[in-house]
């Protein structure tokens, strides 16, 4: 269809055709069109079906507030047709119908609506319980929410952006722009947020004169000024979601075609906030007010002026404000047929506009409003009723432009904590008080003239800067506010709608005037109760459209004073945001040790473990038989760089260690390591490692890989009340570590260091400083895998060379690397506990049989977890850690398999289970009820995939499984 | 979402901090501890509606623990914290 010619206000480029598909048919529009405008221009009026009654719905506001325009675009459900620009090749589908969009089989619900009263689902299926389970599926299917294609790669790039600014202004209309210019003038940094693609607000589609200049031109003039100022950052296409404590603003921005992201999450910390969000049109409630062809005045105005699309062939108005009169005149001036204008106000009409309408031969019916329309997917006729007398007239039309006047958009202020009340002079809900450093400007304050709106923004911008200490006085006198006469529209509905069973208060949830009345009869007369019971504003539109009407209608139905009712509290996000944008980009950040290249060259299979990528195993065999055998019989080498390494020093360092570790701290021996265990307040295991005194008031200690990052925070937390003098340094990334383990490890290391490595000079649990490759290194004789072993910690930059040198030195012994899985098996044969594998949140030090580490009853040092151990010591029926071997070597239970007694009792679970080459059968450790923890007890395992009656049997045995006397370890 | 003022680094988004519970003072001495008192100290919160003194750790900043007084109804900080 040919577009109307609109050189001044047009947003479309008629020289650039865009082809897209809708419901599998091809359509064309122009660059700049939204999906909704392009479809409307092509004669498609119905673009969705409503949630409950499956009524046809079409475009309404062009800002996408409600679900009525939610469609599936390129497989993405719930995309707003009104705010989605068309692109070549775009595929769009309607949602929520069975059969076809124009003949929805579920439309039967509309006919059955008489049986679905307010709270229908709550009451009808409340009891008996089984009924709800039966009906919930079909009900969910009937309700339209769109479907994600789980197999489709949506390929959406999201970003995050964190900004700081002095003044954050929300709303890029005339007030927002003048506020930005004013604040920027004082030297403040400014961020201006605008949801549409261009600044200008309600100036953008108007040609009325503001100070002798067409509004749209004035808007562009201001936009040019704003964009030229270097300390104003303009964020267009950006939706503010909420204002939080201390004026943090959250928003998201939709990427333009040339931007690398689909959506960008934005968080702004600002000194002051100016809300210049303008007004919303309050929907008029009348019978069948949801039919395609019913639209708001701005919608009709913008369709014609910005997109060159005729709203309809015979357009009737039932509105309540001067901007609508202007819209009616503008449409008529384009040659469109405006049948008549009903205005629900008695007075307050702009005399100039009345004169213009008169000249255009458009009758204006004061004190009238539409009470009902006829027609299904197109309007056929409408009934207009005199608000006072009830006299009715039928008018033939195909488009109904309606509103019940305007209301201030105070949703953002509400999220900021402003309490909202009704102002009868304006017919608006407005903030009673504003939070600190939050300001409020523009049309939402009740100004109608452009001059006043701009002045109000200007002063709010200055106020916002002044609150932050910027000098503003010299700029004050530039703009003044003029007096205005207000002419509010005070009604929310037509008085002649009968029961109002098809008079929709909330389009999202198909809540009608009738159900609202039923809600009140059921006692839900306060807005917050009625909202939930009747489902008004619970949908994706987040109360944008029905929010004000709900309070006004309730006040009318109950006859109680409007002042007593406040609108329901608006909570962020006031604009719906996709979950993937909130989740943020997935950068998959991980750390690798300095040995990464050496390991890869040796055939390592890397796996992400926590923040690190570590070696699971080398070569082809995930069961690591050769790796294990080589460590037991020869010598293996492994990367231990990820271990946490810390130095703590200072006069009170020992006191802190005494607080954190459950072990006694009185017995540090020179040149020796001490095994240390940290507990939480419950006495449960948190971490373990080794510690050594390396100087006066100077200690070195290690932590497990997983606990390294939290260590300093934990130390400081538990000494927060003490005025202790100590310093703690995280050396984890500075020092790398290599462990060589196996009977031949001494012979390998001897080739590299000139210190005495004999058993007497450097015994098990010894620590020595040595020079290796000319670099100072710590050598530790630790035995996690149960063999003669040395851990070498040295500066990270030397680690790669050390690995090569050790491999070379070990070549004559056939040294081989081993990974995490081999280490896991080796230590399991020694029954060495891994915290988090053999322990869980409720398992304490005594349960795992490590009571030897406990210093005993604690008087002075207040060790973390000590008191809990004291209490637990006398408790019975706790889980105990035991070793077991599986009776039938062919059966292999998995980690996590449960231990059962009889048919129903779960009395424990397997922590780790592996195959032991030494024992030639599967073995492992399990947490089990203490009654079954004695040697020889029979355990019965059950795991997923087994027949319900089957069990795997095992026997509790002594630990360690390998080298019980530690002769190899201490060799 | 709100802000916390770190005594060392200044006002930052609360996301940079770890909450360390209400300020309950140091743990009672061993002589006074009973299982009930211990449980109370470790797990019972006042859940005050109003101003409460609480611990925060600037985990993505300087790493220090400090107390602030925060109004739990408005999420606004009453004082600016003191270094511990």
B23-61 pLDDT, tens per residue?
Answer: 999 999 988 999 999 999 999 988 899 999 999 999 999
The answer on A247 and A182 residing in a single domain is yes
Q: Does B57 touch chain A (CB under 8 A)?
A: yes
pLDDT of residue A38: 96
Q: How many angstroms separate the CA atoms of A886 and A902, rounded? A: 19
What whole-number distance in Å separates Cα of residue B16 and Cα of residue B13?
6
Is residue A619 located within the same domain as residue A752?
yes
Which CATH number goes with the domain that contains A722? 3.30.70.1400
Domain end (from A418, A450, A467): A467
If you write DSSP's letter for every residue of A499-539 in order, what string do you get?
T-TT-EEETTTTEEHHHHHHHHHTT--SHHHHHHHHTSS-S
Which of A245, A682, A859 is closest, CB to CB, to B30? A859
Residue A674 near residue A663 (C-beta atoms within 8 A): yes
CATH number at residue A44: 3.10.20.440
Same-domain pairing of A513 and A523: yes
What are residue A687's DSSP bridge partners?
A678
- pLDDT above 60: residue A515: yes
Pairing of strands A938-942, A952-957: antiparallel
The answer to whether the CB atoms of A713 and B57 lie below 8 A apart is yes
In this structure, the answer to whether residues A398 and A301 fall within a common structural domain is yes
The first and second tokens of residue A581, run together, are 């944008």
pLDDT of residue A692: 97
Which of A245, A712, A867 has its CB closest to that of B3?
Answer: A245
Return the CATH number at A339. 3.50.50.60
Among A56-70, A443-457, A769-783, A794-808, the minimum mean pLDDT is found in: A56-70
| Structural domain for A685, as ranges | 644-730
**A836 within domain boundaries:** no
Which chain A residues touch B11 with a CB distance below 8 Å?
Answer: 246, 269
A-chain CB neighbours of B57 within 8 Å are: 713, 716-717
The SS3 assignment for A709 reads: helix
Q: Is B61 on the interface with A (CB under 8 A)?
A: no
Sorting pLDDT into bands at 50, 70 and 90, what band is B84? very low
Site of tokens 């540090």: A668
Any domain includes A557: yes
Domain boundary among A576, A605, A621: A576
Contact call for residues A593 and A736 (beta carbons, < 8 A): yes
Q: Search chain A and give the residue with CA nearest B17.
A: A713
**Cβ burial A376-385 (10 Å sphere, 16+ → b, else e):** ebebeebbbb
- Tell whether A605 and A704 lie within a shared domain: no
For residue A794, list its beta bridge partners: A736
**Cβ pair A680, A865 in contact under 8 A:** yes
Q: pLDDT digits over A871-902, tens only?
A: 999 998 899 999 999 999 888 899 999 999 98
Q: Do B38 and A867 touch (CB under 8 A)?
A: yes
A901-942 residue pLDDT tens: 988 899 999 999 999 999 999 999 999 999 999 999 999 999
Q: Is residue A321 located within the same domain as residue A295?
A: yes
Give the integer Cα–Cα distance in Å for A808 and A803: 9
- Closest partner residue to A245 among B1, B18, B57, by Cβ? B1
Cα A177 from Cα A478, distance rounded (Å): 15
Average pLDDT over residues A122-132: 66
Q: Are A766 and A824 in contact (CB under 8 A)?
A: no
Same-domain status, A260 and A178:
yes
Chain B residue with Cα closest to A721: B26
Q: Coil, strand, or helix at residue A333?
A: helix
Q: Does some domain include residue A868?
A: no
Does position A575 have pLDDT exceeding 90, yes or no?
no
- Of A403, A428, A448, which closes a domain? A403
Average pLDDT over chain B reads: 88
* Chain A closest-CA separation from residue B9 CA (Å): 15
Average model confidence (pLDDT) for chain A? 91
Most A CBs within 10 A among B3, B4, B31, B54, hence the mutation to make, goes to B3
Residue, of A756 and A153, whose pLDDT is higher: A756
Is residue A820 located within the same domain as residue A752? yes
Contact criterion met (CB < 8 Å) for A250 and B3? no
Best residue of A679, A684, A714, A720 to probe chain B, by most B CBs closer than 10 Å: A720
- pLDDT band at A121, cuts 50/70/90? low
Looking at the fold, whether A290 and A348 belong to one and the same domain comes out as yes
CATH for A548: 1.10.10
Count of residues in chain B: 84
CA distance A454 to A482: 11
b/e burial code for range A581-614 (CB count within 10 A of at least 16 → b): beeeeeeeeeebbbbbebbeebebbbeeeeebbb
Q: Please name the member of A246, A250, A721 whose beta carbon is closest to the beta carbon of B76.
A: A246
**Can you tell me whether residue A717 is helix, strand or coil?**
helix
Q: Which residue of B has its CA nearest to A718?
A: B26
Instruction: Enter the tokens of residue A164.
Output: 């700081």
User: pLDDT band at A141, cuts 50/70/90?
Assistant: low
To the nearest whole Å, the CA of A436 is away from the closest chain B CA by: 11
Least confident of A183-192, A378-387, A521-530: A521-530
Between strands A364-366 and A338-343, the pairing is parallel
More confident: A571 or A655: A655
Q: Could you report the per-residue pLDDT of A351-382, keeping only the tens digit for each?
A: 999 999 999 999 999 999 999 999 988 999 99
- Is residue B79 within 8 angstroms of chain A, CB to CB? no
With an 8 Å Cβ cutoff, is B2 touching chain A? Answer: yes
- Cβ contacts of A712 on chain B, cutoff 8 Å: 63
Percent of chain A scored above 70 by pLDDT?
95
Nearest CB neighbour to A867, from listed B20, B30, B65: B30
- Assign A127 a pLDDT band (cuts: 50, 70, 90): low
Domain assignment of residue A153, yes or no: no
- Report the distance separating Cα A400 and Cα A291, nearest Å: 9
Contacts of A244 in chain B (CB under 8 A): 1-2, 75
Chain B environment of A269 (Cβ under 8 Å): 3, 11, 13
Inform me whether the pLDDT recorded for A142 exceeds 60: no
Q: How confident is the model at residue B83 (pLDDT cuts 50, 70, 90)?
A: very low
What is the chain B residue with the closest CA to A247? Answer: B2
**Residue A223: closest CA among A172, A182, A257, A264:** A172
Q: Give yes or no for residue A946 having a pLDDT over 60.
A: yes
Q: Do B63 and A248 touch (CB under 8 A)?
A: no
> What is the maximum span of chain B, computed from C-alpha positions, in angstroms?
41
- Is the per-residue pLDDT at A494 higher than 90? no
How confident is residue A606, by pLDDT bands cut at 50, 70 and 90?
very high
Same domain, A215 and A323: no
Residue A858 in any domain: the answer is no
Asked if residue A867 is part of any domain, the answer here is no
Strands A905-916 and A898-901: antiparallel
Residue of A nearest to B24 (CA): A721
Asked if A871's CB is within 8 angstroms of B35's CB, the reply is yes
Q: How confident is the model over A658-675, as a mean pLDDT? A: 94
Domains held by chain A: number: 7
The Cα–Cα gap between A780 and A768 comes to 7
Per-residue burial over A950-959, b if 16 or more Cβ lie within 10 Å, else e, is ebbebebeeb
A545 belongs to a structural domain: yes
Q: Are residues A701 and A638 in the same domain?
A: no
Q: Is the pLDDT of residue A447 over 60?
A: yes
Same domain, A431 and A374: no
- State yes or no: pLDDT of A743 exceeds 90: yes
Alpha carbon of A265: minimum distance to chain B alpha carbons (Å): 15
Beta strands in A581-673 (DSSP E): 604-609, 612-618, 636-639, 644-649
Quick one: pLDDT at residue B82?
39
- Min mean pLDDT across A305-319, A414-428, A558-572 is at A558-572
Quick one: A360 exposed, middle or buried, by C-beta within 10 A (0-12, 13-18, 19+)? middle
Structural domain contains residue A228: yes
Q: Do A248 and B20 touch (CB under 8 A)?
A: no
Q: Between the CA atoms of A714, A719, A720 and A722, what dihedral angle is there, to the nearest 10 degrees?
A: -170
Asked if the Cβ–Cβ distance from A245 to B84 is below 8 Å, we say no
Backbone angles phi, psi at A729, to 5 degrees: -125, 130
Beta bridge partners of A791: A739, A780
Contacts of A721 in chain B (CB under 8 A): 25-26, 84
What average pLDDT score do residues A208-220 get? 94
């Amino acid at each position: 269809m040919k577009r109307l010619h609109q050189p001044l206000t047009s947003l479309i480029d008629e020289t650039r055709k865009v082809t897209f598909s809708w419901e599998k048919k091809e359509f064309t529009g122009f660059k700049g069109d939204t999906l909704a405008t392009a479809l409307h221009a092509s004669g498609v009026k119905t673009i969705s079906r409503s949630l409950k009654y499956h009524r046809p719905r079409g475009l309404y506001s062009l800002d996408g507030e409600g679900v009525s325009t939610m469609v599936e675009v390129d497989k993405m459900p719930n995309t707003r047709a009104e705010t989605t620009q068309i692109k070549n090749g775009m595929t769009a589908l309607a949602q929520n119908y069975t059969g076809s969009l124009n003949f929805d089989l579920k439309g039967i619900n509309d006919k059955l609506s008489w049986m679905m009263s307010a709270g229908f689902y709550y009451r009808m299926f409340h009891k008996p319980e089984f009924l709800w389970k039966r009906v919930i599926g079909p009900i969910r299917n009937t309700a339209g929410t769109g479907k994600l294609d789980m197999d489709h790669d949506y390929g959406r790039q999201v970003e995050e952006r964190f900004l700081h600014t002095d003044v954050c202004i929300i709303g890029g209309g005339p007030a927002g722009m003048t506020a930005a210019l004013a604040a920027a003038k004082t030297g403040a940094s400014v961020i201006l947020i605008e949801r549409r693609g261009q600044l200008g607000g309600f100036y953008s589609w108007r040609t009325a004169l503001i100070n002798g200049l067409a509004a749209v031109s004035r808007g562009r003039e201001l936009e040019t000024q704003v964009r030229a100022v270097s300390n104003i950052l303009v964020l267009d296409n950006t939706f503010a979601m909420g204002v939080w404590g201390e004026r943090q603003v959250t928003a998201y921005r939709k990427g333009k075609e040339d931007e690398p992201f689909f959506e960008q999450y934005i968080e702004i910390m600002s000194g002051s906030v100016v809300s210049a969000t303008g007004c919303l049109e309050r929907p008029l409630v009348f019978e069948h007010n949801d039919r395609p062809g019913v639209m708001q005045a701005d919608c009709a105005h913008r369709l014609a002026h910005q997109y060159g699309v005729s709203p309809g062939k015979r357009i009737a108005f039932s509105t309540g404000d001067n901007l609508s009169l202007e819209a009616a005149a503008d449409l008529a001036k384009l040659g469109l047929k405006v049948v008549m204008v009903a205005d629900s106000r008695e007075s307050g009409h702009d005399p100039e506009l009345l004169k213009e309408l008169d000249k255009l031969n458009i009758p204006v019916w004061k004190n009238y409003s539409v009470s009902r329309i006829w027609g299904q997917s197109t309007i056929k006729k409408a009934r207009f009723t005199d608000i006072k007398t009830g006299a009715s007239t039928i008018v033939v039309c195909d488009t109904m432009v309606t509103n019940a006047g305007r209301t201030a958009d105070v949703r953002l202020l509400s999220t900021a904590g402003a309490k909202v009340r009704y102002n009868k002079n304006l017919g608006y809900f407005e903030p009673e008080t504003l939070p600190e450093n939050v300001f409020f400007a523009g049309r939402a304050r009740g100004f109608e003239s452009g001059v006043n709106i701009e002045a109000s923004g200007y002063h709010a911008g200055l106020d916002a800067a002044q609150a932050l200490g910027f000098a503003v006085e010299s700029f004050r006198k530039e703009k003044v506010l003029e007096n205005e006469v207000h002419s509010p529209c005070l009604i929310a509905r037509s008085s002649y709608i009968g029961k109002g069973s098809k008079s929709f208060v909330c389009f999202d949830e198909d809540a009608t005037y009738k159900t609202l009345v039923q809600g009140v009869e059921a006692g839900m007369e306060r807005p917050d109760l009625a909202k939930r019971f009747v489902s008004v504003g619970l949908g994706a539109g987040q109360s944008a459209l029905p929010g004000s009407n709900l309070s006004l209608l309730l006040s009318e139905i109950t006859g109680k004073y409007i002042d007593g009712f406040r609108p329901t509290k608006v909570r962020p996000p006031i604009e719906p945001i996709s979950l993937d944008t909130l989740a943020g980009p997935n950068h998959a950040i991980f750390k690798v040790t300095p040995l990464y290249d050496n390991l890869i060259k040796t055939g390592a299979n890397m796996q992400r473990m926590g923040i690190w990528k570590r070696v699971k195993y080398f070569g082809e065999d995930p069961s690591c038989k050769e790796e294990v055998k080589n460590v037991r019989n020869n010598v293996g080498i492994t990367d231990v760089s990820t271990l946490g390494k810390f130095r703590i020093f200072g006069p009170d360092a020992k006191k802190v260690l005494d607080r954190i570790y459950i072990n006694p701290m009185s017995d540090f021996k020179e040149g020796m390591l001490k095994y240390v265990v940290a507990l939480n307040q419950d006495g449960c295991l948190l971490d373990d490692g080794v510690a050594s005194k390396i100087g006066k008031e100077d200690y070195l200690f290690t932590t497990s890989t997983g606990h390294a990052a939290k260590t300093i925070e934990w130390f400081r937390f538990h000494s927060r009340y003490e005025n202790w003098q100590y310093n703690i340094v995280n050396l984890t990334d500075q020092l790398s570590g290599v462990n060589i383990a196996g009977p031949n490890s001494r012979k390998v290391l001897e080739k590299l260091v000139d210190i005495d490595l004999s058993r007497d000079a450097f015994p098990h649990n010894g620590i020595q400083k040595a020079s290796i490759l000319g670099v100072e290194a710590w050598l530790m004789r630790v035995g996690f895998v149960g063999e003669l072993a040395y851990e070498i910690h040295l500066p990270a930059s030397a680690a790669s060379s050390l690995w090569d040198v050790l491999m070379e030195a070990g070549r004559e012994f056939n040294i081989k690397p081993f990974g995490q899985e081999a280490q896991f098996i080796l230590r399991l044969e020694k029954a060495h506990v891994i915290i988090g594998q053999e322990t869980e949140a409720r398992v304490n030090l005594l349960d795992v049989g490590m009571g030897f580490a406990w210093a005993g009853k604690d008087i002075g040092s207040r060790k973390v977890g000590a008191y809990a151990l004291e209490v637990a010591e006398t408790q019975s029926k706790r889980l105990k850690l035991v070793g077991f071997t599986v009776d039938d070597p062919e059966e292999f239970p998995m980690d996590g398999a449960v231990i059962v007694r009889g048919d129903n009792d779960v009395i424990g679970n397997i922590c780790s289970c592996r195959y032991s080459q030494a024992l030639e059968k599967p073995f492992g450790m399990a947490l089990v009820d203490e009654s079954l923890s004695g040697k020889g007890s029979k355990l019965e395992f059950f795991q997923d995939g087994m027949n319900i009656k089957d069990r795997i049997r095992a026997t509790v045995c002594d630990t360690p499984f390998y080298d019980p006397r530690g002769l190899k370890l201490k060799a | 979402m709100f802000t916390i003022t770190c005594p060392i680094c200044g006002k930052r988004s609360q996301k940079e901090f770890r909450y360390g519970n209400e300020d309950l003072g140091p743990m009672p001495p061993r002589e006074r501890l009973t299982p009930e008192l211990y449980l109370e100290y470790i797990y019972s919160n006042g859940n005050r509606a109003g101003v409460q003194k609480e611990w925060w750790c600037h985990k993505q900043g300087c790493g220090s623990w400090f107390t602030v007084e925060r109004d739990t109804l408005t999420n606004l900080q009453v004082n600016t914290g003191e270094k511990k």
